[in-house]
Chain A
Amino acid sequence: MKSASTTKAVVHSWPVRLTHWVNALALLVMVLSGWRIYNASPLFDNFRFPETWTLGGWLAGALMWHFAMMWLLIFNGAIYLFFGIITGRFAKRFFPITKAQLFTDFRLASRLTLKHDAGTYNTIQRIAYLGAIALIALLVMSGLAIWKPVQLQALANLMGGYEGARLTHFVAMSLLVAFVVIHVFMALITPKILLSMITGNATIAANAKSSPSGSNIPSTESGDAL
């Protein structure tokens, strides 16, 4: 689809791609070992995770994975946030978010015509990605509160005490897993976007590159309409 109005561009720089996949691995280990830890004392009487979906073999093993991988999750996340803020990537890719644009994008999405393009995020993507970042931050904070309810009392109080932090941790995990399911589904049905997170490159609309807000550029030249 090479035409005058499309161009090949780096849409995800290597630090973004590296931290994205390290984060994916860290979260996979955290979630699977976390499910095993949950099973040792379920918050909800009738709900347990199937043991074959868990990591660690038994409680001690799962705890070892969880408390080893948390450092990778935290340090990788810190690098990602630092990079995103100082390079202006966050400001450029995630903002602005306007009510009008959100309304328009919802309308397009309901007709399955919302653009889901490499290099530019529509408003629904912006909110979903920022939401995922916020959920991971909440998971880290509630996790630290569960781990250190005495030494990090102020944080634990913020999370509703020890038991409140457990519930927060579980709810945030559930929402993040829901995000991941949708995110992976969307990536698989738009291979171009999945590939751009691996190679960094994508063919994008020529005008999208210079546009400060590429959220809803009227273009029929490129991009799979979704």
Chain B
Amino acid sequence: MKKPSLLDRHLLAANKKEIQLIERRLFLKGTFSMGALALLSGCDLADNETVNRMLHGMSRFNDEIQAKLFDVTRLAPEYAPNMITQPFPFNAFYARDAVPIVDASTYHLELLGLIRDKKSWTLKELGELPQVSQITRHVCVEGWSAIGKWGGVRFSDFLQRIGADTTARFVGFKCADDYYTSIDMATALHPQTLLALTFADKTLPTEYGFPMKVRIPTKLGFKNPKHVMAIYVTNTYPGGYWEDKGYNWFSGL
């Protein structure tokens, strides 16, 4: 900034009080409009474009914080069989009688995107891969939680086997009920992330996602897609059914 000349300085000194008053008034005007904004009802605040942008911006910021907090070696707690929740709750964006029925005999898991071997997988082929199981807590974004036992293929093993580009940023899932979601690669490679084929040691029931559900005990329930028909690896942000409606994308536990 230019240094004020002698004359300027003289003028500034002479009008110091007036200038301070004007500055003070401008400042107060600012605080009053902010105060007025805060006084608006919750409904008006939610409809305000600036507030909305700010809230979405904070949600993106929280995605980054969560990605930094995420430790791929930290395991979700596992529980004893007697702690399993019975009956395990059914939850979807539709009623129980609208659950999609997937024909096991024609099912093919499709692979898309940054994957070397895009051959699709039948249920039988998935079942022949090494299987692991876990008793973990499913935490819903609504607040409730339930403990269940899932078994299936460790997702990181599967990604290695199919030659997925594990340096890519996202893994996306498409489901038989038109549900879709996506996760970060770090979570995809977490040792407890499974392509679940069983629930409570039995073939995955229809209401819990037959024929295959991606079980991720380090994510909220809605990031655990059911009836998964296709998996894709990408660097383009894929979003998700609930995420596109305003739920936080990372949603890690």
Query: Which residues of A does B touch, CB under 8 Å?
Result: 25, 32, 37-38, 40-41, 43, 54-57, 59-61, 63-65, 67-68, 71, 148-151, 153, 162-163, 166
Contact = CB atoms under 8 A, between A and B. Distances in A.
A25 to B, nearest CB: 7
Contacts of A59: 141-142
A54 B42 CA distance: 8
Nearest to B143: A41
Contact of B218 (A40, A41, A150, A163): A150
Interface of B: 38, 42-43, 45-46, 54-56, 58-59, 62, 69-71, 74-77, 137, 139-145, 217-218, 242, 245-248, 252-253
A25 B38 CA distance: 9
23 contacts: A37-B143, A40-B142, A41-B140, A54-B42, A55-B42, A56-B46, A57-B42, A57-B46, A60-B246, A61-B46, A61-B246, A67-B248, A68-B54, A68-B55, A68-B59, A68-B62, A149-B253, A150-B75, A150-B218, A150-B252, A151-B218, A151-B253, A162-B137
Contact of A65 (B55, B248, B252): B55
A162 B145 contact: yes
Do most interface residues of chain A lie in helix, strand or loop, or is the interface mixed? helix
Nearest to A58: B246
B221 to A, nearest CB: 11
B143 A38 contact: yes
Nearest to A55: B42
Contacts of A41: 140, 142-144
Contacts, number: 78
Contact of B217 (A37, A56, A61, A150): A150
A153 B142 CA distance: 20
A4 B52 CA distance: 55
A3 to B, nearest CB: 34
Contact of A150 (B42, B56, B74): B74
Contact of A63 (B45, B54, B69, B247): B247
A109 to B, nearest CB: 34
A153 B38 CA distance: 36
Nearest to A166: B143
B245 A60 contact: yes
Given A63-B248, A68-B58, A149 B139 contact: yes
A139 B91 CA distance: 29
B69 A67 contact: no
A67 B64 CA distance: 13
Contacts of B144: 41
Contacts of A37: 143
A67 B59 contact: yes
B43 A57 contact: yes
A33 to B, nearest CB: 9
A151 B142 contact: no
Contact of B143 (A40, A55, A56, A57): A40
A56 B42 contact: yes
Contacts of A148: 69, 252-253
A124 B56 CA distance: 42
A23 to B, nearest CB: 14
B229 to A, nearest CB: 26
Nearest to B54: A68
A151 to B, nearest CB: 5
Contacts of A64: 55-56, 58-59, 246, 248
